Amino acid sequence: MQKHECEYCGQLTNYELCRDCYQLSKENIIIKNDDGKWIKNVIKGNEYKFYDSNKEYVLKQDILNEFEMRFYNIVRKALKMKYTIIPQVNLQSIISTNTNKRNDELYRNVDFALFYSKTFTPFLIIELNGQQHYTNEYYKERDKSVKQILDKVKIPLLTIDIKTLKRMSDKEIYNIMAQVISYLNPGFFKRIFGKAGDKMDLTWATKKLGQ
């Protein structure tokens, strides 16, 4: 099937509307006018403002805190050219569902995602957890939800306790993360252990880096 431009946003698609715009049409945020052209539903669209003139928008100077930045720099050194680490990745950008419903459970960021540079396929999610993740019910439920979603798509999650991170030297963090990255490489695992490994099981690393 030959691709053509989405009739609302102009992205290439096989259909009249691209996937995102089709979802907008299902939610009645965009509608067809009398001429058959897709337009924003002004009445409905006011409930989903993309820009609110009453708000003050301020550019963040830092998207990573001190500990996240330190961890990012260490992991980046441990990565080979074929891997990439990206902070603050939204689950919606790497995971889709088989429904047309609004995927609220995916509208959340994870601290870091590691990708294969050539294809930008994610292969590891990393969360740095402060004390609130162990004491606050909201955070505990959120973390549980993220783990369940990642399990579904077979992406391993490495949870690191910030208190543990503070106690470790850069070299210690580097060595463990280098081991994790090697462990996730099926060829490396088979060469060392003589069999395919369960990439989802990072218990051994969590024990070193967890609370």
Residues 124, 157: Cα–Cα separation, whole Å:
6
User: What is the per-residue pLDDT for 76?
Assistant: 92
Distances (CA, A) of 35 to 4, 31, 38: 20, 11, 9
3-state secondary structure at position 116: strand
Residues 156, 114: Cα–Cα separation, whole Å:
10
User: What is the per-residue pLDDT for 43?
Assistant: 59
Answer whether 0.85 is exceeded by the pTM.
Answer: no
3-state secondary structure at position 95: coil
> Which residues are CB-contacts of 183 (< 8 A; sequence separation ≥ 6)?
189, 197, 199, 202, 205
Q: Hunting for tokens 């992991």 — which residue is that?
A: 75
User: What is the per-residue pLDDT for 70?
Assistant: 93
User: What is the per-residue pLDDT for 186?
Assistant: 55
User: What is the per-residue pLDDT for 15?
Assistant: 82
Give buried/exposed letters for 124-149 (b at 16+ CB in 10 A, else e). bbbbbbeeebeeeeeeeeebeebeeb
The H or E element that residue 131 is part of is none
User: What is the per-residue pLDDT for 45?
Assistant: 45
Q: According to the CATH classification, is domain 66-209 in 3.30.750?
A: no
- Delimiting residues of CATH 3.90.1570 domain(s) in the chain: 66-209
Span 6-39, pLDDT tens digits: 888 877 888 888 888 888 888 778 888 878 888 8
User: What is the per-residue pLDDT for 50?
Assistant: 63
User: What is the per-residue pLDDT for 91?
Assistant: 93
Residues 145, 78: Cα–Cα separation, whole Å:
29
Low-confidence ranges of the chain (pLDDT < 50): 45-46, 188-189, 192-193
